[in-house]
């Protein structure tokens, strides 16, 4: 009841004209920036930090929250329409959203994503209000073996459901893990795969990898095929979801938040893991399995809902523990410190107006995002009417700008081109791109947690399975790996008995 009363007071703060204006500006800026490949919400918030020096803290954080959610939806827009994720949480949207767009259903994919973001954000924020103390306790108690088990689950899940075979999925994952090794060893400080280059000592940024594999690889692939057959502009199609689409998407919209929120609240990779797991879940549960990989709308609705709920989850550990679980949360933590405010257990007591105003603004931001972007879905989809040579020339330009903006180093553009050629080769030989991106994102963190767990147990492998949580996760992994074989055996027995 105290939380509900505090939330009502928060709405009183969030709905003042000036704070409502900051929320609108944040959502619009976030969506516009999210559409640019490589410039995601973390960079958007970081770039706008100096601009907010003159603002009072509540208004600044309400705008930051709008940027966060708006940028996540903007990233999904280019991910769906152009196969070019604006940020890492939008990677999964390209798997089914882009085939939908190519078949003239881009507006439906965008509408499914917009409603998914609304549902996920709404449910996620409600869970934030209700469960923040419990989730914070859970985050404190999870150790290195549990983190490593979660990441192994993500690796196995993504390689087992993507591509034409598990071998190709595993090969793609290994490529990503290898790229993730580039840079300094986090524990010893030794250089790995840097070829003596100081610029590579910090590793290859995941944004450059994602933009290279998706945007550059896709552009080169399309260019190679345009020489053989000229491409017609893709039809936009009807703008709204019909009853059949809603029937297929309402369950994924509701399932996504319960996958996304817990992963956002614990330090386990932000929105990337839950979007992948949501995709896996929807593929397992769908009655239209044959459509997956060709444009299944469930594969857009579920992950987008999970991503939005995960964004609400990241605020749990940041506000209650001062523990940032994503790049955006880390930038927002720096913003708190800029105002002389230290997030932690006492924040809700010391700054109740700011905290509950920020939480209430998440609800306001969700409504604004839906109202602004649902009618715009057909407008965004008209991007596909641009002739392919001009469209992909623009993608290459913005991909280059986005990659250069990451570090301001010309070497990043060379790395972008090399990874783009790698993406082209992966398409040529049927290797799915997504496991490689997963390997880059989670590989370094998985290695660190593995080594940490082994250090705690003095090198004993038992240290990886010494908690109930890790045992549960490994049980799920075994079921995932054994299920295809068990399914074949069950089918044979049924056929034999028939």
pLDDT band of residue 28 (cuts 50, 70, 90) is confident
Q: With pLDDT > 70 as the criterion, what percentage of the chain qualifies? A: 79
∠ CA(320), CA(324), CA(326), 5° rounding? Answer: 135
Contact assessment for residue 41 and residue 71, using Cβ atoms and an 8 Å cutoff: yes
Listed range (75-89, 108-122, 415-429) with the worst mean pLDDT? 75-89
* Beta bridge partner(s), residue 184: 191
pLDDT of residue 150: 78
What pLDDT is attached to residue 197? Answer: 76
Burial of 448 (0-12, 13-18, 19+ CB in 10 A): middle
Q: Specify the higher pLDDT residue, 337 or 285.
A: 285
- The string of pLDDT tens digits covering residues 167-178 is 888 888 888 888
Farthest CA pair distance, the chain: 76
Residues sharing a CB contact under 8 Å with residue 479, sequence separation 6 or more, in sequence order: none
- Residue 126, class by beta-carbon neighbours within 10 Å (0-12 exposed, 13-18 middle, 19+ buried)? middle
Least confident of 48-57, 132-141, 473-482: 132-141
pLDDT band for position 162 (cuts 50, 70, 90): low
Model pLDDT for residues 79-117, shown as the tens digit of each residue: 787 776 656 667 778 888 888 887 878 778 888 888 888
Q: Token digits for 462?
A: 């038992």
Residue pointed to by tokens 């604006």? 86
Quick check: 229 pLDDT over 60?
Answer: no
Chain-wide mean pLDDT for the chain? 77
How far lies 76's CA from each of 9, 251, 306, 380, 455, in Å? 33, 20, 13, 11, 40
The confidence score (pLDDT) of residue 375 equals 74
Give the per-residue pLDDT at 307. Answer: 86
Asked whether residue 418 carries a pLDDT value surpassing 70, the answer given is yes
For residues 358 and 61, give the distance between their C-alpha atoms in angstroms, rounded to a whole number.
Answer: 6
Per-residue confidence (pLDDT) for residue 336, from 0 to 100: 77
% residues pLDDT > 90 (the chain): 0
């Amino acid at each position: 009841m105290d939380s509900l009363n505090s939330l009502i007071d928060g709405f009183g703060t969030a709905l003042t004209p000036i704070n409502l204006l900051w929320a609108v500006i944040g959502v619009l800026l976030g969506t516009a920036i999210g559409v640019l490949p490589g410039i995601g919400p973390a960079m958007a918030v970081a770039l706008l930090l100096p601009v907010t020096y003159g603002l009072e803290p509540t208004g600044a954080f309400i705008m930051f929250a709008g940027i966060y959610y708006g940028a996540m939806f903007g990233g999904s827009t280019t991910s769906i329409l152009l196969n070019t994720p604006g940020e890492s949480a939008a990677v999964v949207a390209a798997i089914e959203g882009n085939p939908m767009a190519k078949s003239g259903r881009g507006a439906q994919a965008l509408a499914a994503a917009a409603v998914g973001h609304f549902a996920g954000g709404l449910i996620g924020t409600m869970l934030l209000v209700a469960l923040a103390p419990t989730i914070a306790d859970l985050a404190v108690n999870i150790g290195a073996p549990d983190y490593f088990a979660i990441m192994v689950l993500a690796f196995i899940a993504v390689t087992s459901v993507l591509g034409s075979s598990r071998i190709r999925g595993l090969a793609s994952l290994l490529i990503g893990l290898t790229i993730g090794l580039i840079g300094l060893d986090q524990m010893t400080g030794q250089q790995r795969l840097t070829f003596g280059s100081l610029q590579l000592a910090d590793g290859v940024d995941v944004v450059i990898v994602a933009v290279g594999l998706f945007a550059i690889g896709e552009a080169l692939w399309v260019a190679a095929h345009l020489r053989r057959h000229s491409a017609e502009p893709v039809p936009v199609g009807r703008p709204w979801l019909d009853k059949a689409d809603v029937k297929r998407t309402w369950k994924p919209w509701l399932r996504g938040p319960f996958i996304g929120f817990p992963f956002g609240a614990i330090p386990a990779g932000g929105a990337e893991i839950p979007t992948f797991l949501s995709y896996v879940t929807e593929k397992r549960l769908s009655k239209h399995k044959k459509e997956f990989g060709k444009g299944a709308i469930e594969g857009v609705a579920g992950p987008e809902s999970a991503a939005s709920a995960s964004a609400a989850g990241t605020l749990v550990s940041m506000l209650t523990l001062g523990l940032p679980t994503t790049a955006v949360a880390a930038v927002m933590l720096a913003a708190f410190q800029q105002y002389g405010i230290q997030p932690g257990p006492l924040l809700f007591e010391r700054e109740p107006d700011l905290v509950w105003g920020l939480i209430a603004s998440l609800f306001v931001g969700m409504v604004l995002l839906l109202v602004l972007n649902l009618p715009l879905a057909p407008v965004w989809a008209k991007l596909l009417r641009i002739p392919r040579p001009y469209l992909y020339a623009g993608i290459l330009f913005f991909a280059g700008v986005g990659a250069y903006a990451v570090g301001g180093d010309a070497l990043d553009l060379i790395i972008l081109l090399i990874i783009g050629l790698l993406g082209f080769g992966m398409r040529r030989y049927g290797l799915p791109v997504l496991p490689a991106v997963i390997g880059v994102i989670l590989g370094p963190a998985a290695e660190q947690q593995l080594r940490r767990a082994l250090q705690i147990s003095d090198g004993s492998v038992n240290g990886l399975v010494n908690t109930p949580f890790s045992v549960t996760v490994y049980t799920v992994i075994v079921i995932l790996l054994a299920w295809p074989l068990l399914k074949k055996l069950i089918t044979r027995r049924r056929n034999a008995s028939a």
